[in-house]
Amino acid sequence: MPFIKIDNKELEVEKGITVLEAAKKVGIEIPHYCYHPALKIVASCRMCLVKVQGMPKLVPSCSTTVYSLPPEKKIDGKYDMVVSTIDKEVKDAQESMMEFLLLNHPVDCPECDQAGECYLQDYSYQYGKGFSRFEFEKRVPPRKDLGPHVLLIATRCILCSRCVRFTQEVTATNELIVKQRGYKSEIDTFPGLSLNNKLSLNTVDICPVGALVSKDFLHKPRNWRYEKVKSICPGCSIGCHIQIEYLAEKNEIGRIKPLYHPDVNQWWMCDDGRLFYHEYEKIERLQQPQIKTDQGHQNVNWQEALPYALEHLNKFSPNEIAAVGNGFATNEENYLLKQIFLNGLKAKTIGVCDHYIREQDVVYPKFIIKGEKLPNWQGAVDVLGSENTLSSILKKIEKGEIKTLYFLGGDPRFELSEKEVKTLSKLEFLVVQDIKQSALTAISHLLLPGSGAYEKDGTFTNYQGRVQRIRAATVPPGLARSDFDILRELGQRMGIKIPLQPRGVFAQLSAEIKGYQGMDYASLSDGGMLKSEAPAKKTKAEVVE
């Protein structure tokens, strides 16, 4: 392996790695705009120029690869390359490039959505001259509406071409081009096309300046106002790693961005998943427990609602009771549901809701969007089994075999047909733990307001069988509670010993469920774990109270 020195830091790296990536390994930042690890290298911005001993001129570090020298030609008898990022010649080049890039750039940082996380802003401070010699009229290309989600503020564009290469290489939809040449060059859509592919908002993520902006995030509070938490996208069964940015004081999400995971979503996520949090804004959220009376549903408190549920559930024999879990519930919540009805009520019928959106997969060259619009279907089946489903339970209700049902919901898009609602109305006692008003809640005898996907802590299992951590950003509205807390208290009222936190429940789950043995939250914290990669089964589950 080549042995190199970068700014007096020595390291050994694999042959063929770029100088820019090698510098990252020793904590040296080389400024760059056009380079992105997922895109082809074009070396057009020239911000990453470095001095390599033995080369006649500065070279772009993003396209210069590390090489080996024969022993007799090694520098100082041991180095294959000696690189400087702090030489005066390098600094002069960086200052000149920043001056060129800022020639026509407006000084609009106070109103730019990228302010605070802008490479142009940061690099002008770190590597720029602090003044401009340009005394002519600035070029002001017009703003452009590129598609349903993306706006181009062309005056800010530095023509790094990241967005163009993204539509060429990742989606292969080729909506974006660089039109004209030289001084007149600008980003635009190909004639007759709109930037309307399902990954379009990734172009905003990879834009190093504030040229491409998300219409959804436009004019929202500054990015530094938001709290940030890592979680998993609930939009489909891919399980993209995401960062949820939310305003704690308003209990609302501002935006969602993808986080890098090499085996799940790489650097990307789809627009549907990114904007999925708006689905919760479209529905009428349940905010307080309700009991059905002769006068309709009446609001009650939790101290009345949970005993009421137990009192009525205990009136039925185990063969008459059914419980249905959900792919929007965490593994821990579905596991608690199973424990309550299997161990607490001895119920014979515990199943999973099979009513969810199924579409065709959308396949791009470097990304796939699953048509299975349920984040934890695999986990729900692993925990609850696939023998019983809502569809099969509906048939048993029709026959009069099932007389009471506990339904655990959470899907903001869940709908039932009129025929299915009519069948469920035959039940003598129906408990609905869900997030929205619906035809199902209208016929329920007891309503328990639960939590949405961004209000949960626990784990989801994606279509690959990868178990991943989800974390809460916001809290349920009104008197609604997290589904975990509702089920935990319900189980505790039955005398079932249940850990106080999802971590402890997962310890129990992982000791029991095939494929999950040996997993714990610590092992899942970075990027999750495939069931096939799980370590050997522990002799005793560690339960965290």
Q: Which of 66, 99, 132 is the endpoint of a domain?
A: 99
Average pLDDT, the chain: 94
Residue 409: give its domain's CATH number.
Answer: 3.40.50.740
The domain that contains 66 carries what CATH number? 3.10.20.740
> Buried b vs exposed e over 422-438: b needs ≥16 C-beta within 10 Å?
ebbeebebbbbbbbbeb
Q: Is residue 171 part of a domain?
A: no
Residue 389 lies in a domain: yes
In single-letter form, the type of residue at position 345 comes to L
Q: Using an 8 Å Cβ cutoff, are 171 and 365 in contact?
A: yes
pLDDT recorded at residue 264: 96
Residue 354 within a domain: yes
Among 214, 271, 226, which Cα is nearest to 253's? 226
Instruction: Please report, for residues 235, 241, 254, the alpha-carbon distance to residue 273 in angstroms, rounded to integers and kept in the order given.
Output: 5, 11, 14
**Which segment of 45-59, 129-143, 229-243, 357-371 scores lowest on mean pLDDT?**
129-143
Question: What per-residue confidence (pLDDT) applies to 103?
Answer: 85
Long-range pairs for 139-148: beta carbons < 8 A, 24 or more residues apart:
139/104, 139/183, 140/104, 141/186, 144/187, 144/188, 144/189, 146/175, 146/176, 146/189, 146/194, 146/195, 146/200, 146/212, 147/175, 147/189, 147/194, 147/195, 147/196, 147/200, 148/194, 148/196, 148/200, 148/215
- Full residue range of the structural domain in which residue 440 is found: 283-498
Check whether 536 has a pLDDT greater than 90: no
* 267, burial (CB in 10 Å: exposed 0-12, middle 13-18, buried 19+): buried
Q: Is residue 532 part of a domain?
A: no
- pLDDT for 149-159, tens place per residue? 999 999 999 99
Q: Is the pLDDT of residue 148 over 60?
A: yes
* Helix ranges (DSSP H) in 102-243: 119-127, 162-169, 202-206
- Given a contact cutoff of 8 angstroms between Cβ atoms, the answer to whether 28 and 7 are in contact is yes
Q: Terminus-to-terminus CA distance in the chain, angstroms?
A: 49
Query: Domain ends where: 99, 124, 158?
Result: 99
Tell me if 230 is assigned to some domain. no
The pLDDT assigned to 124 comes to 87
Q: What percent of the chain has pLDDT over 70?
A: 98
Structural domain contains residue 310 = yes
Task: Establish if 531 belongs to a structural domain.
Answer: no
**58-88 pLDDT, tens digit each:** 999 999 999 999 999 999 999 999 999 999 9
User: For residues 62 and 42, what is the distance between their CA atoms, to the nearest angstrom?
Assistant: 9
Place 138 in a pLDDT band, splitting at 50, 70 and 90: confident
The reply to whether the predicted model has a pTM over 0.85 is yes
Q: Confidence band (pLDDT; 50, 70, 90) for 106?
A: confident
Q: What is the pLDDT of residues 495-527, one digit of tens each?
A: 999 999 999 999 999 999 999 999 999 999 889
In sequence order, the β-bridge partners of residue 461 are: 467
* 446-449 and 362-364 strand pairing: unpaired
Of 72, 99, 126, the one marking the end of a domain is 99
Domain count, the chain: 2
In a domain, 245, yes or no: no
Cα 437 to Cα 503: distance, rounded to the nearest angstrom: 31
Question: What's the pLDDT at 418?
Answer: 95
Given its phi and psi angles, is residue 174 left (phi above 0), alpha (psi -120 to 50 degrees) or beta?
left
Any alpha helices (H) in 43-105, and if so which ranges?
Answer: 88-101
